[in-house]
C-alpha cells in the first residue's frame, strides 16, 4: 500500500489532482460549520449580485438572490456524493456481472453478455432519460439512472479481464487444490481483478459526476430549491448573457472536480498497472539510443561484420542491466557463426544491437562499435541505418506469428521489403516476391502470396520470414532463434533450408540459439555467451569436442541426447547471475566447481590461439 | 462480405426487439396513468376511461406491447398529444437536425482524436505529446453544456463572430453557409469530450502496437519510420480504435441532448427532454426506439468496417 | 504390478459454433478414442508435436476437461464426472509455465495451504508440518513461503509447482512439459528432482514433452501421439532406436544431434492435416514415404509388434 502511494505521488500531476480534490473534499466536509447564509433562502431584492460586490455574498447571488457561495458548496457536496455513490453502485453490480460471465463462460456468458449488449445498444442517455421518465425527475432517480447505464461498461470491461484470468493455469491449479467455484472467484480471481475495478472506478467517477450534473442540468435531477452543480448551471443558463458569473461559478467547480479526479485516476491507473511500472509502455524509438562515453579505438577489419567491444545496457529506473558487457565478434562472408547461451545471456540483445533494434527506451548502446565492411554503423545515425537494414544485414526472428504483420498479406510484406530499398514497380515487386517464395520452397507460391500470416502453419510462416530476409540479397543474415517456436520435424526442414540458401548465395549467417545440436549441424564457428560476455569461442567441432570453459563443458553435459536411455542427468547447481548485479571477476565462478579466489578478482581476458579463445583462468583445455 | 453483412443484420433483429421490450417495460413502470397527464384538469372519470380505451391502456401488458410493436412495424408510432401530430413525423424531422449536429461532431472527434493520438504516441514525452495530453485532459473534464455556454459567451456575445443559437437565422438564413455558421460552436462543444477520449485511446493503442514484434520486423526490413507508424502501427491500432469509435458515437448522440438545449438546436434530444417533462409517453417511447435502432444499425456498419480491416475476423 | 491408471476409449471432440444457416459442423477431434494403462511406479512418457492432443489428454486425466467418451480409472476406481476436487487427491498436475500456474497475488504459503486445507481438512499445525516436509523434499528454503511468485526464477517456481502437486499426496502426477520453459542447466535439476521424488513418494508419472531426449531419459514406456491418436507405444529404451511407425522414426531423426550431419529427413514441404477437415485413413499418410492406397482409406488399428511394442501402421518398419 505504501509502495502504491509512493508510486502514485511520484506522478506530479496525480499529486496535484489529489491536492485539489482533497481541498474540495475538505471544504465540503466543513461546509455546515462555516458561517454561510442558508443556500435556499431567496431575496429577490439582492438578485444577480456580482462576486465581491456585496459583503456577505462573496461570489454574488443568483436569479433569486440566493448566496452563490453557499449554494456552490452545498451543491458540490451533493454532486460529489451522488457521483461517488453512482460509481460505487455501478462498479459493484457491473463487476459482479462481469466476473460471473467471464468465469463461467459458455451459456452463462452468452446470456449475460447478450443482455449487456442490449443495454449498450442504447446511446447511454436514452436509457437514462427513459429511466428518469419512468421514475420521475429527482436526484435519487438520476443517481439510479446513471448507475444503471454504467453497469454494462463495467460488466464488459471486467468480463474481458476475467476471461483471461479464468484461462490462466493458476485457476486450474486451484481447482485441483480442491477449491470450488465460489472460492476460486473470491480468492483467486477477485484479487487479480480488483486493481482493474479500482482503475475503472477511478477513471469513471469523474464521468459519472458529469452525467449526474447533466441530468440535473436538464431539470431531471435535483429539484428546486435544493441544487447540485448541474441544476445550478441549468437555472443560470437563462441569465447566461446578463449574469454570466452565475453560470461560470458552478461550471468551473464541476471542471475542477472532474479534472482533479481524472488526474488522480490516471495516477492510480499508472501506479496499479504493472506494465507501466517497469516503464514497458514506452514507445521503442526507431533506433536504439547510442550513448558512447568516449571514442572507439580503431581496429583492423576481421570480417564482413565486426562487433568491437559492444556494450548494451537497459536503464530501468535507477537500475542498470548490463545485458551485453563488451562483446567482440566477427563473421566473414559465407560463414555461419553460432552464438549460444541460456536465457538472459545477452545473445539476442547482441544480435539486435547490430542494426540498432534493441527497444529503446530502456536499451542504450553504451560502448563499442558495429562495423559493416569496416564502417561503424553506430556512428552513422538513423537515416543510414535504415538504408542498411534489410539491404546489407537482414534479420530472421523467433516466433513468426508475432513477427509478421497480422493485417498485411504475405505478398505486401515481401513487396514492401523490396520497395523500401529499391524503386521497382508493384508488378515487378510481386514477381520478385513470387521468386522469393519459390526460393524458400513454399508449395503453391502463387496462392500463398494472397495469404495472411494467420492462415499459414508455423513452418510456412517462418519460410516467409526467411524469404523476407532474402528480399534484398543481403550479405549478412542474423537469425535470432528462428526455429525455437517450431516443432522438431519442421525445425529440421527450416535448418536444412537455411543451410542450402547459405551455400547457394554465399551468405554470412549469425545464428543465435540455445541448442547445441543446431549449432553442431549448422555453424562453422561458435561463441558461447554467459551473463553478457563471450566465455568461449572457436570452430564448432573443436569447441564441442573439447570445450575449454568449465561452463561450456558442463552445459553440454546437461543436454540429454537421444539414445542415452533412462538416467540421471548432469546439472549445474545454482542460477546465472542477474545482469544488474554481476559479481566481480568471472560471472560463472559462484557455480563453478573449479573456482578459486583468483576467479572472483578482476577482469579475466578472452585469451587463446586463434581461432580458439576462452575466458577462464583454469580452463579445461589449453587453447 | 455480403453474407457477413447479412449475418450481422439478421443478428441485429433480436437486439432491436430487446430494445423495444426494454423501452416498453421501463415506460410501463411509470406510476399514475398517462390519461391524467394528458387531460390535466379535464380529467373526469369518463374522459380518462375514453383516453385509456383510445390508447389501448385497458388491455393486458403483453397484448399492449404487441399492438405497439405491430403498429411501429407499419410505421405508426402513435400520436404525440403534446404536439398533436404523429410521433414518427416529429421524430424524423428532429432526427434530421440531430444527425447534422452529431454527424459533424463524430467526424471531428474521429479524425482529430486519432490524429492527435498518433502524433502523441509517435512523439511520446515530446512537446507535442505534452501539449496534446494537456488539451485532452481539459477536453474530457469540462462538461459539454458548460463548454457550450462559455463558447456562446466568448464567440457569440463578446466577439460576435457566430450566432448565439438555433440552426438557421430567423430572417434571411436557410442556406448552407448559414447552417455552417450555426453549426460551428455546437459541433465543437459536442466533439470535445469524444475527441479527448478517442485521442487518449489512440495514443495508448499506438504505444501498445509500437512495442510489438512485427514493428521490429518492419524496422529490420528498413521500412521508413513514417510508414512504420502511419502504416504498420496505425493499421493494427485501428482494430482497437474502431470499436471505441462506435461507442463514442453513442456518447456523441447522448451529449447532443445537452448541446441541443444549450444552443436551441431543434433536435431529437431536446424533443425527448420536453416530452419527458410533459409526460408525453408515446413521443418518448417512439423517439428512444427510433434513435436506438439507428444506433444499432450504425454499429453494424462499424463491425463491417472492422472486418474489412482485420482479416482475422471470420466473415 | 498394479494398474495405477487405466483409460478406456477416452476421446475429446470440441464442438464448433453452429453457423447461422445449416447444421453444426462435426467438431474438432482433439483426442480420438484411446486406451492406455499405466502401472504403479511407472513413468509413462507422452510425446508428440503441437496439435497432437497431448495437453487435451492431460487435462482430461486430471478432471479439468470433460471427456466426450470413455472412462478413467485410477487405482481401480472409476472417475467419470469431471470434478477436479474429486480427482485432486488421486492425481495432480504440474503445469508447463511455472510462473503462470502460481497466482501472482498469493504468497507461496497460501498457495501451498489450499490443497492441505481443502482436500485433507488439516489444521494449521498439521499444515505447517506437512509444508515443511515437502519443502525439504524439493530443496526449497522455508523463507520462500512468505514471498510472492514473481520473486522466483523459472526453476524455483517449477519446484514450487511440484511441491504444490505433492501437497495433495496424489498417486499419480501428470507433468505437462514441466521443463520446456526452463534452460538446460536448470532443466536437469528439475528432472533429477522428479526422479528422486518418484522413488521417495512411490509416485506414478505421466510425462508429457515434445523433447524426445528428455522423455527417453525419464520414462519407462513411451506413447507417441500424432493428430490425436496413439501411433506407437513401446519401451523407452528401444522405441526410438527401433521405431515401427514411420512417424516415430521421423521424430527421432529430426532432433538435431551433435555429430550428425544436417539432413532434412523430410524434404517435401508437408503440412499437418487440417483438424477441421481430417483426411480419411491414416492421418500421417500425407507425409509418409511408405503410404499406399490402403493408408488413405483405412485408419490403422494399434497392433502388437514385438514384445512390448505396439504401432498403428499398415506398413510398419521392419525390426
Domains of chain B (ranges plus CATH)?
A: 88-309 (1.10.3720.10)
Measured distance CA(C129)–CA(A167) in Å, rounded: 32
Q: How close B71 gets to chain C, by Cα (Å)?
A: 29
Count of CA atoms in the C-beta half-sphere (13 A) of A511? 32
Neighbours of A48 (CB within 10 A): 17
Q: Which of residues 122-161 of C touch A (CB under 8 A)?
A: 153, 155, 161
C47 inside domain = yes
As a whole number of angstroms, the distance between CA C156 and CA C138 comes to 10
For chain B, list the contacting chains (3+ Cβ pairs, <8 Å).
Answer: A, C
Could A176 and C262 be called an inter-chain contact, meaning their C-beta atoms sit closer than 8 Å? no
Query: Is the model's pLDDT at A277 over the cut of 60?
Result: no
B11 lies within 8 A of chain C by CB: yes
In A, which residues are within 8 Å of B313 by CB distance?
A: none
Segment 293-312 of chain B within 8 Å of chain A by CB:
295-296, 299, 309-312
Question: Nearest-CA neighbor of B139 among B189, B104, B201?
Answer: B189
Q: Taking 70 as the threshold, does the pLDDT of residue C53 lie above it? A: yes
Which residues of chain B does C20 touch, with a Cβ-Cβ cutoff of 8 Å?
A: 7, 10-11
In sign, the C-alpha dihedral spanning B143, A16, B205, A149 is negative
* Residues A482 and C243 sit within 8 Å (Cβ to Cβ): no
Which positions in chain C touch B10 (Cβ < 8 Å)?
Answer: 20
> Residue B314: how many CB atoms within 10 A of its CB?
8
All residues of chain B having their beta carbon less than 8 Å from the beta carbon of residue A386 are: 219, 222, 224-225
Are C70 and C10 within 8 A, CB to CB? yes
Residue of chain A with shortest Cα separation from B281: A133
Please tell me which residue, B7 or B31, carries the higher pLDDT value: B7
Q: Check A218 against B273: CB less than 8 A apart.
A: yes
Q: pLDDT, tens digit, for every residue of A376-394?
A: 999 888 999 999 999 999 9
Residues 6+ apart with CB under 8 A from B37: B278, B279
A406–B312 CB contact, under 8 Å: yes
Q: Which residues of C touch A572 (CB under 8 A)?
A: 185, 188-189
Nearest CA in chain C to A189: C103
Rounded to whole angstroms, the Cα distance separating C108 from C103 reads: 9
Q: What is the pLDDT of residue C21?
A: 60
Neighbours of chain C (3+ CB pairs under 8 A): A, B
Mean pLDDT of A582-606: 90
Q: What is the DSSP letter of A173?
A: H
What is the count of structural domains for chain C? 1
Residue-level pLDDT at B35: 66
Q: Do A497 and C264 touch (CB under 8 A)?
A: yes
| Rg (chain C; Cα; Å) | 21
Categorize the per-residue pLDDT at A199 as very low, low, confident or very high, splitting at 50, 70 and 90.
Answer: confident
A182 and chain C in contact, CB less than 8 A: no
**Nearest-CA distance B4 → chain C (Å):** 11
Find out whether A409 and A451 touch, Cβ atoms under 8 Å: yes
Q: Does A14 contact B at CB distance below 8 Å?
A: no
Distance CA C72, CA A344 (A): 42
Query: Do the Cβ atoms of A277 and A7 come closer than 8 Å?
Result: yes
Question: Which chains reach chain A with 3 or more Cβ–Cβ distances below 8 angstroms?
Answer: B, C
Give the residue on A whose Cα is nearest the Cα of C118. A178
Superfamily of domain A2-28+64-276: MetI-like (1.10.3720.10)
C20 Cβ under 8 Å from any chain B Cβ? yes
Residue ranges per structural domain of chain A:
2-28+64-276, 399-463
Per-residue pLDDT of B172-200, as tens digits, reads: 667 888 889 999 999 999 999 999 999 99
Give the 3-state secondary structure of B155-181.
HHHHCCCCCCCCCCCCCCCCCHHHHHH
Show Cβ contacts of residue B161 under 8 Å, excluding neighbours closer than 6 positions. B155
Nearest residue to A575 via CA among A531, A529, A608: A531
Chains B and C: how many Cβ contacts under 8 Å?
Answer: 3
Q: Which residue of B has its CA nearest to A474?
A: B221
Cβ–Cβ gap A514/C184 under 8 Å: yes
Helices (H), strands (E): how many in chain C? 10, 12
Q: How far apart are CA C117 and CA C114, in angstroms?
A: 5
Contact check, Cβ <8 Å, B221/A129: no
Q: Note the pLDDT tens digit of each residue in A11-68.
A: 788 889 999 999 999 999 998 888 888 888 888 888 888 888 777 787 888 888 888 8
Asked if C213 is an interface residue toward chain A (Cβ–Cβ < 8 A), one would say yes
Q: Do A284 and B211 touch (CB under 8 A)?
A: yes
Closest Cβ–Cβ partner in A178, A180, A458 for C115: A178
Helices (H) and strands (E) in chain A, counts: 23, 12
C40 lies in a domain?
yes
How many CA within 13 A on the CB side of residue A319?
12
The average pLDDT across A241-263 equals: 91
What is the number of residues in chain C?
A: 319
Sign of CA dihedral B173, B175, B179, B181: negative
Mean pLDDT within A81-94: 94
Q: Which of residues 81-110 of B touch C (CB under 8 A)?
A: none
Q: How does pLDDT run across C288-299, given as a tens digit for each residue?
A: 888 888 988 888
Nearest-angstrom CA–CA distance, A458 and A479:
16
Please, which residues bridge with residue C46 across strands?
Answer: C208, C223
Count, in order, helices (H) and strands (E) of chain B: 13, 2
**Residue C272 belongs to some domain of the structure:** no
CA distance C129 to C107: 17
Read off φ and ψ for residue A178, nearest 5 degrees.
95, 10
- Look at residue A298 in the predicted model and tell me its pLDDT: 83
Q: By the 8 A CB rule, do A143 and A128 touch?
A: no
Distance from the Cα of C17 to chain B's closest Cα (Å) equals: 12
Lowest mean pLDDT among A69-83, A239-253, A492-506, A564-578: A564-578
Residue to mutate among C17, C19, C20, with most B CBs inside 10 A, is C20
Burial C22-37 (b: 16+ CB within 10 A, else e): eeeeeebbbbbbbebe
| Nearest-CB residue to B19 (from A122, A135, A233) | A122
User: B 24-83 residues with CB below 8 A of A?
Assistant: 26-27, 29-31
Range of the domain at C104: 3-14+27-219
Q: At what angle do helices A190-217 and A139-166 cross, to 10 degrees?
A: 150
Please state whether beta strands C204-209 and C229-235 pair in parallel, antiparallel, or not at all (unpaired). Answer: unpaired
Residues 265-294 of C with CB under 8 A from A: 265-267, 269, 271-272
- How confident is the model over A509-535, as a mean pLDDT? 93
Q: How far is B213 from chain C (nearest CA, A)?
A: 20
From the CA of B307, how many Å to the nearest CA of chain A? Answer: 11
d(CA A338, CA A351) in angstroms, rounded, equals 11
Are residues A557 and A570 in contact, defined by beta-carbon separation less than 8 angstroms? yes
Peptide bond into A361 cis (omega under 30): yes
Beta-strand pair C3-14/B85-86: unpaired
Distance from the B305 Cα atom to the nearest Cα atom in chain C, whole angstroms = 21
Contact flag C105-A191 (C-beta cutoff 8 Å): yes
Q: By the 8 A CB rule, do A390 and A472 touch?
A: yes
Measured in angstroms, the CA of C201 and the nearest CA of chain A are apart by: 18
The answer, for B235 touching chain A at a CB cutoff of 8 Å, is yes
Lowest pLDDT segment from A418-422, B55-59, C71-75: B55-59
pLDDT-derived band at C46, boundaries 50, 70, 90: very high
Reference A568, options B152, C195, B313; nearest CA is C195
Q: Which residues of B touch A137 (CB under 8 A)?
A: 276-277
DSSP B36-56: HHHHGGG--HHHHHHHHHHHT
Whether residue C151 is contained in a domain is answered as: yes
* CA-to-CA dists, residue B35 to B26, B39, B40, B266, angstroms: 18, 6, 8, 27
How would you classify the pairing of strands C229-235 and C221-226?
antiparallel
Instruction: State whether residue A357 sits within 8 Å of chain B by CB.
Output: yes
Q: What is the pLDDT of residues A305-359, one digit of tens each?
A: 999 999 999 998 788 999 999 999 999 999 999 999 988 899 999 999 999 999 9
For the entire predicted model, the pTM comes to 0.87
| Half-sphere exposure in the Cβ direction for C212 (13 Å, CA) | 28
CATH of the domain at C131: 3.40.50.300
* B8 to chain C: closest CA residue: C20
Residues of C in contact with B3 (CB under 8 A): none
Q: Is residue C271 part of a domain?
A: no
**Displacement of CA C308 from its chain's centroid (Å):** 20
Residue-wise pLDDT for B90-127, tens only, equals 999 999 999 999 999 999 999 999 999 999 999 888 89
Per-position DSSP letters for A512-571, written without gaps between them: EES-HHHHHHH-SEEEEEETTEEEEEEEHHHHHHS--SHHHHHHHHHS--TTS-S-PPP-
d(CA A589, CA A236): 78
Question: Cβ(A576)–Cβ(A562) under 8 Å?
Answer: no
Strand runs labelled E in chain C: 3-14, 28-39, 43-47, 69-74, 77-79, 91-94, 172-176, 204-209, 221-226, 229-235, 303-304, 310-311
Contact between chains at B27 and A134 (C-beta distance less than 8 A):
yes
Helices marked H in A121-168: 124-135, 139-166
pLDDT 10s digits, C203-225: 999 999 988 889 999 999 999 99
Nearest C-alpha of chain C: how many angstroms from A557?
Answer: 9
Amino acid at each position: 500500500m505504501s509502495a502504491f502511494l509512493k508510486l502514485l505521488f511520484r506522478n506530479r500531476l496525480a499529486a496535484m489532482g489529489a491536492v485539489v480534490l482533497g481541498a474540495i473534499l475538505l471544504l465540503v466536509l466543513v461546509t455546515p460549520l462555516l458561517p454561510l447564509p442558508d443556500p435556499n433562502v431567496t431575496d429577490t431584492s439582492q438578485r444577480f449580485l456580482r462576486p465581491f460586490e456585496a459583503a456577505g455574498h462573496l461570489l454574488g447571488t443568483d436569479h433569486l438572490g440566493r448566496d452563490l457561495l453557499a449554494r456552490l458548496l452545498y451543491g458540490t457536496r451533493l454532486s460529489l456524493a451522488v457521483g461517488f455513490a453512482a460509481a460505487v453502485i455501478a462498479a459493484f453490480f457491473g463487476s459482479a456481472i462481469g466476473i460471473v460471465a467471464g468465469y463461467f463462460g459458455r451459456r452463462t456468458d452468452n446470456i449475460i453478455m447478450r443482455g449487456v449488449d442490449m443495454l449498450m445498444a442504447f446511446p447511454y442517455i436514452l436509457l437514462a432519460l427513459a429511466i428518469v421518465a419512468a421514475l420521475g425527475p429527482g436526484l435519487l432517480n438520476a443517481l439510479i439512472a446513471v448507475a444503471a447505464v454504467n453497469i454494462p461498461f463495467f460488466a464488459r470491461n471486467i468480463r474481458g479481464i476475467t476471461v483471461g484470468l479464468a484461462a490462466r493455469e493458476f485457476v486450474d491449479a486451484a481447482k485441483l487444490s480442491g477449491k470450488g467455484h465460489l472460492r476460486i472467484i473470491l480468492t483467486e480471481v477477485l484479487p487479480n481483478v480488483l486493481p482493474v475495478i479500482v482503475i475503472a472506478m477511478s477513471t469513471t467517477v469523474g464521468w459519472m459526476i458529469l452525467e449526474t450534473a447533466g441530468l440535473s442540468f436538464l431539470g431531471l435531477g435535483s429539484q428546486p430549491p435544493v441544487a447540485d452543480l448541474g441544476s445550478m448551471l441549468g437555472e443560470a443558463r437563462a441569465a447566461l448573457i446578463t449574469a454570466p458569473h452565475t453560470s461560470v461559478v458552478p461550471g468551473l467547480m464541476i471542471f475542477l472536480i472532474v479534472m482533479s479526479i481524472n488526474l488522480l485516476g490516471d495516477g492510480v491507473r499508472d501506479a496499479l498497472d504493472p506494465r507501466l511500472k517497469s516503464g514497458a509502455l514506452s514507445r521503442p524509438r526507431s533506433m536504439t539510443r547510442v550513448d558512447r562515453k568516449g571514442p572507439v579505438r580503431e581496429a583492423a577489419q576481421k570480417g564482413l561484420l565486426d562487433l568491437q567491444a559492444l556494450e548494451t545496457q537497459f536503464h530501468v529506473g535507477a537500475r542498470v542491466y548490463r545485458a551485453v558487457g563488451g562483446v567482440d565478434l566477427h563473421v566473414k562472408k559465407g560463414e555461419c557463426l553460432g552464438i549460444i547461451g541460456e536465457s538472459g545471456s545477452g545473445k539476442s540483445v547482441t544480435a539486435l544491437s547490430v542494426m540498432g533494434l534493441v527497444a529503446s527506451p530502456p536499451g542504450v548502446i553504451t560502448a563499442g562499435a558495429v562495423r559493416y565492411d569496416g564502417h561503424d554503423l553506430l556512428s552513422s545515425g538513423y537515416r543510414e541505418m535504415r538504408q542498411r537494414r534489410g539491404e546489407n544485414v537482414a534479420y530472421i526472428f523467433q516466433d513468426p506469428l508475432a513477427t509478421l504483420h497480422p493485417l498485411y498479406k504475405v505478398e505486401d510484406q515481401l513487396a514492401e521489403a523490396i520497395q523500401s530499398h529499391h524503386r521497382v514497380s508493384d508488378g515487378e515487386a510481386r514477381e520478385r516476391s513470387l521468386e522469393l517464395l519459390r526460393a524458400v520452397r513454399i508449395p503453391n507460391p502463387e496462392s500463398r502470396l494472397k495469404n495472411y500470416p494467420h492462415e499459414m502453419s508455423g513452418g510456412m510462416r517462418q519460410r516467409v520470414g526467411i524469404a523476407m530476409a532474402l528480399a534484398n540479397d543481403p550479405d549478412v543474415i542474423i537469425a535470432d532463434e528462428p526455429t525455437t517456436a517450431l516443432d522438431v520435424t519442421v525445425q529440421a526442414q527450416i535448418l536444412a533450408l537455411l543451410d542450402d540458401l547459405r551455400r547457394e548465395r554465399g551468405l554470412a549467417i549469425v545464428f543465435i540459439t540455445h541448442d547445441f545440436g543446431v549449432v553442431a549441424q549448422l555453424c562453422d564457428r561458435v561463441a558461447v555467451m554467459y551473463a553478457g560476455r563471450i566465455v568461449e569461442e572457436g570452430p564448432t567441432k573443436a569447441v564441442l569436442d573439447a570445450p575449454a570453459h568449465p561452463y561450456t563443458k558442463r552445459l553440454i553435459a546437461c543436454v540429454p541426447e537421444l539414445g542415452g536411455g533412462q538416467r540421471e542427468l548432469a546439472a549445474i547447481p545454482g542460477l546465472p547471475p542477474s545482469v544488474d548485479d554481476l559479481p566481480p571477476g568471472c560471472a560463472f565462478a559462484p557455480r563453478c566447481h573449479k573456482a578459486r579466489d583468483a576467479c572472483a578478482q578482476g577482469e579475466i581476458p578472452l585469451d587463446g590461439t586463434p581461432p580458439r579463445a576462452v575466458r577462464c583462468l583454469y580452463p579445461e583445455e589449453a587453447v | 462480405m455480403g453474407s457477413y453483412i447479412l449475418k450481422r443484420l439478421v443478428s441485429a433483429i433480436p437486439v432491436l426487439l430487446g430494445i423495444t421490450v426494454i423501452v416498453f417495460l421501463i415506460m410501463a413502470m411509470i406510476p399514475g396513468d398517462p390519461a391524467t397527464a394528458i387531460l390535466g384538469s379535464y380529467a373526469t372519470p369518463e374522459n380518462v376511461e375514453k383516453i385509456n380505451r383510445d390508447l389501448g391502456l385497458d388491455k393486458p401488458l403483453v397484448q399492449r406491447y404487441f399492438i405497439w410493436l405491430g403498429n411501429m412495424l407499419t410505421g405508426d408510432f402513435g400520436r404525440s398529444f403534446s404536439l398533436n401530430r404523429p410521433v414518427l413525423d416529429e421524430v424524423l424531422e428532429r432526427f434530421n437536425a440531430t444527425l447534422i449536429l452529431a454527424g459533424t461532431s463524430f467526424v471531428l472527434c474521429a479524425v482529430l482524436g486519432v490524429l492527435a493520438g498518433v502524433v502523441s504516441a509517435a512523439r511520446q514525452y515530446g512537446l507535442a505529446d505534452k501539449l496534446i495530453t494537456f488539451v485532452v485532459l481539459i477536453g474530457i473534464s469540462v462538461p459539454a453544456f458548460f463548454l457550450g455556454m462559455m463558447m456562446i459567451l466568448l464567440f457569440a456575445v463578446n466577439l460576435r463572430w457566430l450566432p448565439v443559437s438555433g440552426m438557421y437565422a430567423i430572417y434571411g438564413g436557410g442556406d448552407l453557409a448559414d447552417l455552417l455558421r450555426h453549426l460551428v460552436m455546437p459541433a465543437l462543444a459536442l466533439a470535445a469530450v469524444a475527441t479527448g477520449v478517442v485521442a487518449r485511446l489512440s495514443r495508448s493503442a499506438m504505444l501498445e502496437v509500437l512495442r510489438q514484434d512485427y514493428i521490429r520486423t518492419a524496422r529490420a526490413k528498413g521500412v521508413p519510420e513514417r510508414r512504420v507508424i502511419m502504416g504498420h502501427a496505425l493499421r493494427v491500432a485501428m482494430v482497437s480504435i474502431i470499436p471505441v469509435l462506435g461507442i463514442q458515437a453513442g456518447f456523441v448522440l447522448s451529449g447532443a441532448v445537452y448541446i441541443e438545449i444549450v444552443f436551441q438546436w431543434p433536435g431529437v434530444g431536446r424533443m425527448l427532454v420536453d416530452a419527458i417533462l410533459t409526460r408525453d409517453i408515446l413521443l418518448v417511447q417512439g423517439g428512444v426506439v427510433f434513435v436506438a435502432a439507428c444506433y444499432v444499425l450504425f454499429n453494424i456498419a462499424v463491425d463491417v468496417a472492422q472486418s474489412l480491416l482485420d482479416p482475422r475476423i471470420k466473415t | 504390478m498394479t494398474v495405477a491408471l487405466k483409460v478406456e476409449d477416452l476421446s475429446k471432440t470440441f464442438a464448433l459454433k453452429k453457423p447461422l444457416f445449416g447444421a453444426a459442423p462435426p467438431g474438432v477431434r482433439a483426442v480420438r478414442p484411446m486406451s492406455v494403462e499405466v502401472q504403479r511406479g511407472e513413468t509413462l512418457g507422452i510425446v508428440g508435436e503441437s496439435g497432437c492432443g497431448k495437453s487435451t489428454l492431460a487435462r482430461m486425466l486430471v478432471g479439468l476437461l470433460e471427456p466426450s467418451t470413455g472412462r478413467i480409472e485410477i487405482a481401480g476406481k472409476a472417475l467419470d464426472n469431471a470434478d477436479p476436487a474429486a480427482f485432486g487427491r488421486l492425481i495432480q498436475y504440474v503445469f508447463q509455465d511455472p510462473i503462470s500456474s502460481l497466482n501472482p497475488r498469493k504468497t507461496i504459503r497460501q498457495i501451498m495451504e489450499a490443497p492441505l486445507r481443502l482436500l485433507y481438512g488439516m489444521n494449521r499445525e498439521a499444515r505447517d508440518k506437512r509444508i515443511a516436509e515437502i519443502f525439504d523434499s524439493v530443496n526449497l528454503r522455508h523463507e520462500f513461503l512468505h514471498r510472492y511468485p514473481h520473486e522466483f526464477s523459472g526453476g524455483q517456481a517449477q519446484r514450487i509447482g511440484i511441491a504444490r502437486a505433492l501437497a495433495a499426496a496424489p498417486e499419480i502426477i501428470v507433468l505437462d512439459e514441466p521443463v520446456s520453459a526452463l534452460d538446460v542447466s536448470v532443466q536437469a535439476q528439475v528432472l533429477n528432482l522428479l526422479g528422486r521424488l518418484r522413488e521417495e513418494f512411490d509416485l506414478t508419472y505421466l510425462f508429457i514433452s515434445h523433447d524426445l531426449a528428455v522423455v527417453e531419459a525419464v520414462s519407462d514406456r513411451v506413447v507417441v501421439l500424432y493428430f490425436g491418436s496413439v501411433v506407437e507405444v513401446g519401451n523407452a529404451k528401444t522405441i526410438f532406436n527401433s521405431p515401427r511407425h514411420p512417424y516415430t522414426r521421423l521424430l527421432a531423426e529430426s532432433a538435431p544431434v551433435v555429430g550428425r550431419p544436417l539432413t532434412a529427413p523430410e524434404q517435401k514441404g508437408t503440412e499437418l492435416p487440417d483438424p477441421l477437415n481430417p483426411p480419411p485413413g491414416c492421418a500421417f499418410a500425407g507425409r509418409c514415404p511408405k503410404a499406399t492406397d490402403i493408408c488413405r482409406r483405412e485408419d490403422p488399428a494399434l497392433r502388437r509388434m514385438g514384445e512390448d511394442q505396439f504401432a498403428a501402421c499398415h506398413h510398419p518398419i521392419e525390426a
